[in-house]
Amino acid sequence: MTRFEADPVGHHPWQRVPLVDLLDRVLGKGVVVSGDLAICIAEVELVRLSLRLLLSSVRADLLEAAPLTAPAHTARGARVGGGAGAALPGHAAAALPAGGADTCHGRRAGRAGAPPVRPVEVDP
Amino acid sequence: MPGEAVTTWVYAVTPEDTTPPSGVGVDDGPLRRVAHAGLAAVVSSVALSDPDEVDRRLRQPAELEALARTHHQVVTSCFEAGPTVPFRLATLYRGDDGVRRLLAERREELSAALATVAGRAEWGVQAYAVAAAPPPAEEPDPAAGPGTAYLLRQRGRRLAQQAAERAACEAAERIDRALAEVAVAVRPQSTGGGARQAGTLVLNTSYLVDEREQETFRATVEDLARRHAEVRVRLTGPWPAYSFVGIGRDE
């Protein structure tokens, strides 16, 4: 079975796992436990990096049609576990509180973690 | 070198009675397992003992991509062999004893997570609002000046766009409800996640789906996509259940 396939109505035969989907999962999900080495993952930095990676792989006309700075304002409130499952802020980096950007795991996990960025409610 | 500290990179936890992984992980370190009381952590040794060095590598796009892809590849090979609880990128221990301690201390949670994900896979579904069609050109009012006509056109465009996004949100809710019927569990994601395509992201949700329901799930997504022209739907998967292991996020 093909591991990753185009969306049923799309045009992209994904040969590899799309990087942004991948980073979202390996950084924002999975088991987070205190290892012995404190790794401080600056989420804003990583988001910026993932954007840069993305920019190099997306066609210019798509970018024109969907500027990355456009607010994603239509997320619904989380139902299962809420903000815990939505820890990687993704393109909403600008919404992160200043100074709360670093999420550390490892020994520093308890005190330096940024609050999870919760999806904004839909306008009624 | 005798006495030198070895750092252990943890990829995932599996039941001890599944096939041990073969091949290599990060920096070509051979994969092996650290087992304790029925659980086996899939690990490899890495020459990374300085946290700052790891930080530095994670901040370089090419390195980050390589590490993420390698990590994911190992997690995926475990997932293909049996129940797998994926760990976050760059979970590191100074030697295997720390990993053994982890398996002992978190045994119940890890076992529960394994039970949740066994025989199931994660599917990501995203829906994007389709841009509004331009409003039909109205007969120009001879009394109105060019400025008024321009403002009216702008207003028409804005209203059409708002209507399109509202319709897309409603479609997203219907799609989500239908998929939740097939899935075992549902977890909404950040709307920032996922590959960006044209249009506002109105649905970005992971669904945990039983192995025997995978084809039904895919067919349901396709059918829903066909029936909802207001959105363009994107499906990725099957993923190891990254979004459904729920350990450690709330500590």
Q: In this predicted complex, what is the ipTM?
A: 0.84
Beta strand pairing status for B201-210 and B120-129?
A: antiparallel
Q: Token digits for B11?
A: 């990829």
Convert the pLDDT of each residue in A70-100 to its tens digit: 333 333 333 333 333 333 333 333 222 333 3
A46, A76, A84: residue with CB nearest B249: A84
Contacts B61 to A, Cβ<8 Å: 49, 52-53
Per-residue pLDDT at B191: 65
**Closest Cα in chain A, distance from residue B50 (Å):** 8
Per-residue pLDDT at A74: 33
SS3 B99: helix
Cis peptide before B238 (omega within 30 of 0): yes
Per-residue pLDDT at B4: 53
In 3D space, the residue among B108, B156, B103 whose CA is nearest the CA of residue B133 turns out to be B156
**Closest Cα in chain A, distance from residue B157 (Å):** 15
A46, A66, A76: residue with CB nearest B197: A66
Per-residue pLDDT at B43: 98
**Closest Cα in chain A, distance from residue B131 (Å):** 9
DSSP B53: H
Q: Whole-angstrom Cα distance, residue A92 to residue B237?
A: 24
Q: Whole-angstrom Cα distance, residue B126 to residue B37?
A: 39
Interface contact flag, A74 B48, Cβ < 8 Å? no
Contacts A116 to B, Cβ<8 Å: 249
Residue of B nearest to A15 (CA): B236
Mutate to test the interface with A, among B84, B173, B186, B191 (most CBs of A within 10 A): B191
Q: Whole-angstrom Cα distance, residue A59 to residue A61?
A: 6
Interface contact flag, A30 B169, Cβ < 8 Å? no
Per-residue pLDDT at A69: 37
Q: Which regions in chain A score pLDDT beneath 70? A: 1-16, 38-124
DSSP A94: G
Residue of A nearest to B95 (CA): A36
**Closest Cα in chain A, distance from residue B221 (Å):** 8
A30, A47, A72: residue with CB nearest B87: A30
Interface contact flag, B222 A8, Cβ < 8 Å? yes
Mutate to test the interface with B, among A37, A52, A56 (most CBs of B within 10 A): A37
Ranges assigned E (strand) in B6-154: 7-15, 32-36, 39-46, 85-94, 120-129
Q: Whole-angstrom Cα distance, residue B217 to residue B223?
A: 10
Mean pLDDT in order along chain B per 10 residues (251 residues): 71 96 95 97 93 84 89 94 94 93 96 97 92 71 82 90 91 97 92 57 94 95 94 92 80 43
**Closest Cα in chain B, distance from residue A63 (Å):** 7
